[in-house]
Amino acid sequence: MLVTHPAQSAALKSLIVYSDEVRDALAANKPLVALESTIITHGMPFPRNVETARQVEADIRENGAVPATIAIMDGKIHVGLSDADLDRLAQAEDVMKCSRADLTFALATGRYGATTVAATMMAAHAAGIKVFATGGIGGVHKGAEQSFDISADLDELARTPVCVVCAGAKALLDIPKTLEVLETKGVPVVAYGTDELPAFWSRESGLSAPYRLDTPNEIGVLLKVRENFADHGGVLITNPVPETDEIPRDEMSGFIDAAIKTAAEQNVTGKGVTPFVLGNILELTDGRSLDTNIALVRNNARLAARIAAELV
């Protein structure tokens, strides 16, 4: 079903398909939370990917908002997936992993596309959705001073006015450099309920967070004030994984170093680095990293729903 949003050009409107649930929520001005789709296609095997996606959507509904999982299918940006769409995407082969550079290619060629943080932000903004829940953002890779490997997520946060709720940058990255780039680009990085920047699987990174807020209401006030500036870009909310689900920083660093070393030895580069390292870490932790990943995504979805409710 196609619906209209004032921010869209006629051409862009023609590329967006809304699920009935999302369309009705937009019409009724209900809180909405965008969700990416790479966790479905590139994050875990079927059927656990579908089970997790449905659980995250349920978490959002239980906290007073409407989920809008975003993916590229049949030459359209789907904002909100039906059960049938979710199953189709989860079992599709050769799905593109879409960042900003890939989104229009997938649309133009009719390829299946799973959206990363950057592409999900683009689509969410086009659809009039202000809050997006994910696991962790991309950032500056270790050794970027030689490879120049820096995620498009950081530029997207600088340009696109969407609140991104995450558990920090993926801990396999160079987090201090990632934080520096975000500061340079004018992106507020806010830790939720803590003074320390979380590190994805771990609650601690050893780095102080630039800002701290303790309630969804406080975050909502920040977002409303920031909307007064025309070119305000995004806001990054970093939400620590629940303590019972974390893998402590000291333990996790050993797994990360080993996985990155293996990637280097096998000459894995570019977009292949993150999925390779994550897969290797999954093996090294005997599956614990995936359990933690699921727990933190659900935790972020619950917070994002409560933030979205403050904006309507």
Of 57, 97, 156, 170, the catalytic one is 170
Please give the average per-residue pLDDT across 229-243, as a whole number. Answer: 94
Mean pLDDT for the chain? 93
Q: How confident is the model at residue 43 (pLDDT cuts 50, 70, 90)?
A: confident
Active site residue 36: yes
2 vs 5, higher pLDDT: 5
Q: For tokens 């939400």, what's the residue?
A: 239
241 vs 43, higher pLDDT: 241
Share of the chain above pLDDT 70, in %: 97
Alpha-carbon separation of residue 167 from 2, 68, 189, 210 (angstroms): 33, 19, 12, 15
pLDDT(1) > 70? no
Q: How confident is the model at residue 182 (pLDDT cuts 50, 70, 90)?
A: very high
With CA atoms as reference, report the closest residue to 117 among 52, 187, 35, 43: 35
Of 21, 36, 57, 156, the catalytic one is 36
pLDDT(70) > 60? yes
Please give the average per-residue pLDDT across 267-279, as a whole number. Answer: 83
Buried b (16+ CB within 10 A) or exposed e, 121-153: bbbbbbbebbbbbbbbbbbbbbebeeeebbbbb
pLDDT at residue 8 in the model: 54
Q: How confident is the model at residue 4 (pLDDT cuts 50, 70, 90)?
A: very low
pLDDT digits (tens, 9 = 90+) for 81-119: 999 999 999 989 899 999 999 999 999 999 999 999 999
Alpha-carbon separation of residue 105 from 99, 101, 116, 193 (angstroms): 10, 8, 14, 40
Report cis status (omega within 30 of 0) of the bond before 47.
yes
Out of 2-11, 31-40, 178-187, least confident range? 2-11
Q: How confident is the model at residue 2 (pLDDT cuts 50, 70, 90)?
A: very low
Active site residue 170: yes
Instruction: Record the tokens describing residue 198, joined without a space.
Output: 């979380």
pTM of the model: 0.93
Please give the average per-residue pLDDT across 190-212, as a whole number. Answer: 97
pLDDT(245) > 70? yes
